[in-house]
Amino acid sequence: MKNIAYTTESDILLRLKAGDELALEELMGRYKGALALSMSRLIKSREDIEELLQELFLRVWKNRDNLDPERYLSYLYKIAENLVYDRLRKAAREKRLSIDYFAHIIEAYSHIEEGIFDKELLAVLQRGIQQLPEQRRRVFELCKIEGKSYEEVSQLLSISVATVNSHITNANASIKAYFRQHPELASMVLLVFLFANFAPDTL
């Protein structure tokens, strides 16, 4: 087997198209970690991510003849995105929506593109946000909805960064607890999120 460090990606793709299974392993070695990180934004289970990655590279192998050397990387991430969405949509259809998935989305606010939370989604989220104490709610809205940094909120509200962090931590816990009591609302949030125009940062 060639040393991956001295193998060009063009060479890997040529060998892959020729049916070289070792080339597929080299491609996996280069991008499996980054793809797993991208998937982890919505999928918490390592076992699920590993299963999706196996399916991803199986699809790459089956469609190796059609790989575009100029666009293969975006192709990998597009497959990853589709696999994640398919997994979550299946859970929604089977009414097996996990509050853990919803909680993961709540915690990922700061990593999601600005504008992803449209009016419909925010209207549902507000039901959970409104039950927070006034100061905690203000901190949460400034950080998670308006996108301000902890430092900016600290200066704006004349509180320490540690206090901002504490408010966010407690707000996340309170909102998750609220939606555990109202799973039908969590389902609405997740479904709206799934069909939003979301694209991983890596694309």
pLDDT at residue number 58: 93
Distance of CA 32 to the CA centre of its chain: 16
Digit-coded pLDDT (tens) for 38-64 = 888 777 788 889 999 999 999 999 988
pTM of the prediction? 0.49
Digit-coded pLDDT (tens) for 161-192 = 999 999 999 988 888 787 777 665 655 555 55
**Contact call for residues 102 and 189 (beta carbons, < 8 A):** yes
Digit-coded pLDDT (tens) for 88-107 = 767 655 544 445 555 555 55
Instruction: Compute CA distances 178 → 62, 110, 126, 184, whole Å.
Output: 45, 20, 11, 11
Kindly report the CA angle at 103 between 117 and 189, in degrees rounded to 5? 40
Over residues 10-16, mean pLDDT: 88
